[in-house]
Amino acid sequence: MEFRDSPEQATWRAEVQGFIKHNRPEWDPGAPMAEARQRRGPLADWRQKLADKGWIAPAWPKEYGGASLSVMQQFVMNEEFAEARLPGVGGMGVSMIGPTLIIHGTEDQKKEHLGAILRGEVQWCQGYSEPGAGSDLAALQTRAVRDGDDWVLNGQKIWTTGAHTADWCFMLARSDPDAPKHRGITYFLVDMKSPGVTVRPLINMGNLHHFNEVFFEDVRVPSRNVVGEVNRGWYIGTTTLDYERSSIGNAVGQRQSLEYYLREYGKLKESGKANTSPSVRGEIADRWIEAATARLMSYRVVSIQLAGRVPNHEASAAKLFNTELSQRIARTAMKIVGTAGLLSDPAVAPMRSRASASYLATVSSTIAGGTSEVQRNIIATRGLGLPRA
């Protein structure tokens, strides 16, 4: 891995930095969640500026409104956006369903959805997990039965992030119960306003409403909303996308969290409200080294992509390390503030309650997007060549 930029990369980095300097939105990334939500309005301007450059979906081909950026260009852009602590604007529309439709969608599906995603007019949610199907996703039971020109869906999804604000859901359902479990699944696009769709909130332990249960009762979906071939949905749902997946944004974010906690630690120390024991100071040093390691793991993933290979167990190792590190950082922050970390009201809690909010929020990071145990299985079997248990 060459750590210094090549001349082309340096030119590109300067262009991205210049764009950020002249266009960055009013945005306080350290604001508590409720405040951050209220500030979404002013971000519309920032979104438009990104859209004008095709930078909402930089990995998408130009013909679909993206910027056709190379892996390295995306990496540099993600790194600079993360360093500048800029908010993401694309959501699942840009990162998941858009690229899937570009590869597998019909022309009508592309026409109907891609432009709306880029313009920020629609929000999408992902209906994969079910009460009995998470890590073993192919065990999903939501049924899809053909009826004339429609499909009729019955079943339940769970942990569906953003279903309460989503306009559309990309989801998997079992269309052939007699086929081997990976082969009888079809991929659907479901309008969340369809009769028979019910969204029930699940409040997480941080007392926030992010995910939901979604029930499908005789929901009719026109067959034009099937993506790819009937019964081949598994392979569409697991489409490996050739876009930058180094998690550099997460790695930079870890270091920035630490910088924030260190600044606050200094202030609390002055007022005698910080735990200044050697063990806490030792932990902060360890976290700093680990955040630097996380960054190097991201570099490893992107250098594999640049060599024309698809990162596999390396991406799992980076995900595992990053998410477990986010929990360790939150624990260290809680030790800094001590029992005051039990306060959750940002108006009175130290660090505007960021330590306690992060302590609760990061628990789910090692579950969402594939659990740590599943990542370890991948590292063990594909990385280390160990036999399956």
User: Which are the contacts of 348, defined by CB distance < 8 A and separation ≥ 6?
Assistant: none
Encoded one letter per residue, x for contact with ligand FAD by CB under 6 A and - for no contact, window 170-189 reads --------------------
Encoded one letter per residue, x for contact with ligand FAD by CB under 6 A and - for no contact, window 321-360 reads ----------------------------------------
Strands (E), the chain: 124-127, 143-147, 150-158, 168-174, 185-191, 197-203, 209-222, 226-227
Q: How far apart are CA 208 and CA 231, in angstroms?
A: 36
Examine residue 362 and tell whether it contacts ligand FAD (CB under 6 A). Answer: no
Nearer residue to ligand FAD within complex by CB, 139 or 292: 139
Examine residue 8 and tell whether it contacts ligand FAD (CB under 6 A). Answer: no
Query: Does residue 135 contact residue 371 with C-beta atoms inside 8 Å?
Result: yes
Examine residue 367 and tell whether it contacts ligand FAD (CB under 6 A). Answer: yes
Please report where in the chains the tokens 């086929």 appear, as a residue.
179
Strands (E), 293-377: none
Examine residue 128 and tell whether it contacts ligand FAD (CB under 6 A). Answer: yes
Out of 177, 345, 373, 382, the only residue in the binding site for ligand FAD (CB under 6 A) is: 373
The per-residue DSSP string of 194-211 comes to STTEEEEEEE-TTS-EEE
Q: How far is the CB of 369 from ligand FAD (least distance, A)?
A: 6
Q: How far is the CB of 172 from ligand FAD (least distance, A)?
A: 9
Nearer residue to ligand FAD within complex by CB, 175 or 377: 377
Which contacts qualify for 280-288: CB closer than 8 Å, 24 or more apart?
A: 280/332, 280/335, 280/336, 283/332, 283/335, 284/258, 284/332, 284/336, 287/258, 287/325, 287/328, 287/329, 287/332, 288/255, 288/258
- C-alpha atoms less than 13 angstroms from C-alpha of 291 in its C-beta half-sphere: 21
Query: Does residue 136 contact residue 216 with C-beta atoms inside 8 Å?
Result: no
Q: Which stretch binds ligand FAD (CB under 6 A): 80-88, 129-137, 220-228, 349-357?
A: 129-137
Out of 75, 211, 234, 299, the only residue in the binding site for ligand FAD (CB under 6 A) is: 211
Number of residues in contact with ligand FAD under rule CB under 6 A = 19
Nearer residue to ligand FAD within complex by CB, 12 or 168: 168
Examine residue 145 and tell whether it contacts ligand FAD (CB under 6 A). Answer: no
Nearer residue to ligand FAD within complex by CB, 159 or 265: 159
Catalytic residues: 244
Radius of gyration of the chain from Cα atoms?
22
Q: Which stretch binds ligand FAD (CB under 6 A): 102-110, 114-122, 128-136, 309-317?
A: 128-136
Nearer residue to ligand FAD within complex by CB, 142 or 225: 142
Q: Which CA distances in Å does 94 have to 83, 87, 98, 275? A: 21, 14, 5, 43
Q: How far is the CB of 218 from ligand FAD (least distance, A)?
A: 21
The per-residue DSSP string of 269-308 comes to HHTT-S---HHHHHHHHHHHHHHHHHHHHHHHHHHHHHTT
Out of 75, 159, 265, 321, the only residue in the binding site for ligand FAD (CB under 6 A) is: 159
- Look up residue 182 and give its two tokens: 């990976």
Q: How far is the CB of 136 from ligand FAD (least distance, A)?
A: 6
Q: Which residues form the interface with ligand FAD (CB under 6 A)?
A: 125-129, 134-135, 159-161, 211, 364, 367-368, 370-371, 373-374, 377
